[in-house]
Amino acid sequence: MHIKLLYFFKHIYIYICMQMQLSNNFVHLNIIWCWSSCTDVRWEQRNKSHSFLPFMAPLFFLFKQVPISLLHIPHNQHSCYTTHCSMTTPNMTYFTSDEFLATFVPILVYWLYSGVYMALGLIFEEYRLHSKKEEDLKNLVSKRDVIKGVLLQQTLQAIVAFLMFKVTEGEVAINSTAESWPWPWPWFALARQFFVAMFVFDAWQYFLHRYMHLNRFLYKHIHSWHHRLVVPYAYGSQYNHPLEGLLLDTIGGALSFLVSGMSPRASIVFFSFSTMKGINDHCGLWLPGNPFHMFFANNAAYHDVHHQRFGGKHNFSQPFFVFWDIILGSHLPYSIEKRPEGGLVVRPVKG
């Protein structure tokens, strides 16, 4: 079922791109799903196949047709590149602009990707870090209220994004010197922007998150909202007090965008990726082959420790790295063990 939904949203994305008159600026990566099973996705590019679970499928759709202008590569650098399509085309409106996509694609990815995880949690109960019974009994907020809280945060997020893009309208993401350099320099410039954005986002979230735990007033009246989810699940990732959502996620994301200097088009990918990463950290599943678990020490099990009583003062880092916890002494190691009654459990490892 979720594969059909993914195809549906893919065609919506392609239609929007066609309206933007950018269809001639796409590089096709030939992403092909070779398995009909919901547990296997195969990505083929240049006759090299890599098998993945469907965790990355929504991001694959974003890369299915990648705009060359994302890289800001001048058309005279290589014959296979097309000319840069200006984001200020006369007949282009806000509703078909990169700014619009950067605002709303991550929200679309949030509900799509979390829905996939919720479905996987029902199918693969042996990989759950908490049983469904625990999820229903231990959590202090209803799923209905979680959905309403997330929608409120995403509304505030969209408003801030609109204002931010208005303020920075017309600015160039990569300076003219970098643009004039030959390939593959633009790729390195883009990678640098992503790394800077990840670092800024992590630093902002770590220190503000930790302070909200240390300050009793802030924890009781604001941050405790998020910890009503003792057993985290996918679409509860962005469930926060509105003020925390604004400070921690929305302003943190805006700072990472501004400091890194990325373009609105590049931010579509970055914020979709960071959204998926946050969902993965709260999904409550330890599925084999999950690339997020392979490449990030900060993952579903790591963050699950923080949501438990024994880990409330540990593992503050989110959403990418763990080095702030290690440097500042809040890192708590853990082990993942099998439950006798089935499923998995995360336990602290005492040093």
Tell me, letter by letter, the H, E, C secondary structure of 158-195. Answer: HHHHHHHHHHCCCCCCCCHHHHHCCCCHHHHHHHHHHH
Q: Quick one: how far is CA 169 from the chain centroid? A: 24
DSSP H helical segments within the chain, as ranges? 2-19, 57-64, 98-123, 132-138, 143-167, 176-180, 185-214, 216-221, 242-244, 252-260, 264-282, 291-295, 300-307, 323-327
Q: How far is 317 from 266, CA to CA, in rounded Å?
A: 24
Query: Quick count: other Cβ atoms within 10 Å of Cβ 90?
Result: 5
Question: H helices within 44-92, ranges in order?
Answer: 57-64
Tell me what pLDDT residue 49 has: 38
Which parts of the chain register pLDDT below 70? 1-94, 170-185, 351
- Per-residue confidence (pLDDT) for residue 183, from 0 to 100: 61
Q: Sort residue 30 into left (φ over 0), alpha (ψ -120 to 50) or beta.
A: left
User: Collapsing DSSP states into helix, strand and coil, what is residue 298?
Assistant: coil
Pinpoint the alpha helices (H) of 222-263: 242-244, 252-260
What's the pLDDT score for residue 38?
37
Q: Give residue 185's pLDDT.
A: 66
Q: Per DSSP, what are the bridge partners of residue 334? A: 348
Task: Share the mean pLDDT of the chain.
Answer: 78
Cα angle for residues 262, 265, 271 (degrees, 5° grid): 75
Q: Which residues of 181-212 are buried (b: 16+ CB within 10 A; e: fewer)?
A: eeeebbeebbeebbeebbbbbbbbbbebbbeb
* pLDDT score, position 94: 62
pLDDT of residue 51: 40
Q: What residues does 44 pair with on adjacent strands?
A: 49
Of the candidates 260, 158, 149, which has an alpha carbon nearest to the alpha carbon of residue 203? 260
